Amino acid sequence: MNRHDSGFTLVELMVALFITAAIMTAAYSSFITISRSFKTVTKQTETQMESSIGLDILRHDIEMAGYGLPRGSISPSLGYTYNEAVSDGTYTPDPQVLNDATANEPRSVVIGNNTGPNTSDAFAIKSLDVSSSKTTEKWSYVYYDGASWVLKSWNDTRYDLSTNDRVIFVSPKRKDLQLNTSNSWTTTLTSGLTYTSNMPTPGDIDMIYLLYGVDGKTDLRMPFNRADYFLYRDPTNFPAKCNAGTYTLYRGLLNQSNGMRDAQPLLDCVADFQVAFGLDVNNIGVITWTDSALPAQAPDIDYQLKEIRIYILLQEGQFDRDYTYPSSTILIGDSDITLKNFALSTLSANYANYKWRVYKLVAKPLNIS
């Protein structure tokens, strides 16, 4: 070997290995930090997307509250009986808490104030158009020409009612629910959409009734549809990412056939769900806010209710050992109404390792007056 050839000494090799290890350790640490940050941001984004979709559904239901609801000649009596939710101990509170009396006019909104998990609200919206059935998007009118009933056809399958659709008839002005000749307030459209004996009993010539679709498949237990919003934790399918003290916000459409909820999850990891109502009690443009003191009778709710605000206390992202939430409480409400100062410490011992946010939805019922 040429004596001028040179290599690395053992000390030089050890120094080089130490430097390389230090660089690799720093790089790995940076990778882990970036990975955790990316995962946290991704989970927060997922939460925000879920909340946006869920709030859009809720907004639609609020805007449609009261649509097509029948009324009686003398409030609060509807004049006829119907059935809403059956008792179901699966949920807190029992869905029957949100029922109206079986012979009363249905209220467009009903609140179970602080009756749910974590003293959350349970909220029912009654309307024809909270159902997913295409039938509820259809309406028409019929008039009696002195010899037979005549149905207005729109000549468009998207809007025309179909054979076997279950419908109700109401008077155009007061929305009084009408009986057919079978002494029933619900009518099933017959083949060919021609009507004789299955129509409301005619009075004067040119009598007109509005015709609303309620359901396309099932005989009716109530002359409207109902969507309930409530917190519930599925014991077999609750997301592991959620804090142990949270629940899932559900939308439960009341089944016309059996009075049970067809429940669909909207938002996971919800700690609280609160509802506030803006009432113009004297019809002078001055809004008074309440979380429970709604008028007792349906027409008064329709007359006074101007705005609804929803507050959802939601976990964003997932557990983060490197994060500490800055407070043990969080305010639910706004400058108009304070609903609750929620104690996060009641959720779990590690509540501070989660990010918490109150989502607010403001919506106006567009189908009551």
Mean pLDDT of 224-249: 96
Q: Reply yes or no on whether the pLDDT at 190 is more than 80.
A: no
Q: How confident is the model at residue 72 (pLDDT cuts 50, 70, 90)?
A: confident
Phi and psi angles of residue 187, each rounded to the nearest 5 degrees, phi first: -130, 135
Average pLDDT, integer, range 67-86: 91
Q: How many residues does the chain have?
A: 369
- Cα(327)–Cα(351) distance, rounded to whole angstroms? 10
Question: Where in the chain are the domains?
Answer: 46-132+222-363, 134-215
Instruction: Report the chain's mean pLDDT, rounded to a whole number.
Output: 87
**Confidence at residue 23, expressed as pLDDT on a 0 to 100 scale:** 78
CA 83, CA 187: separation in Å to the nearest integer? 16
Confidence check: pLDDT of 140 > 70:
yes
| pLDDT score of 188 | 86
pLDDT class of 47 with cuts at 50, 70, 90:
very low
The b-or-e profile of 311-339 (16+ CB within 10 A means b, else e) is: bbbbbbbbbbeeeeeeeeebebbeeebeb
CA-based angle 80:85:86, to the nearest 5? 110
Quick one: three-class SS letters along 54-119?
HHHHHHHHHHHCCCCCCECCECCECCCCCCCCCCCCCCCCCHHHHCCCCCECCCCEEEECCCCHHH
Alpha-carbon distances of 170 from 144, 207, 364, rounded to whole Å: 14, 12, 25
118 Cβ contact list (under 8 Å, min separation 6): 231, 245, 247, 271, 272, 342, 346, 347
Rounded CA separation 86/81 (Å): 15
**Up-side HSE of residue 203: CA atoms within 13 Å toward CB?**
6
Give the distance from CA 150 to its chain's centroid.
38
Q: Could you read off the pLDDT of 292-351 as tens digits, one per residue?
A: 989 999 999 999 999 999 999 999 999 999 999 999 999 999 999 999 999 999 999 999
Angle in degrees, CA 122, 127, 131, rounded to 5? 85
- 350: left (phi > 0), else alpha (psi -120 to 50), else beta? alpha
Residue 201's pLDDT is 55
Alpha carbons 16 and 169: distance in angstroms, whole number? 89
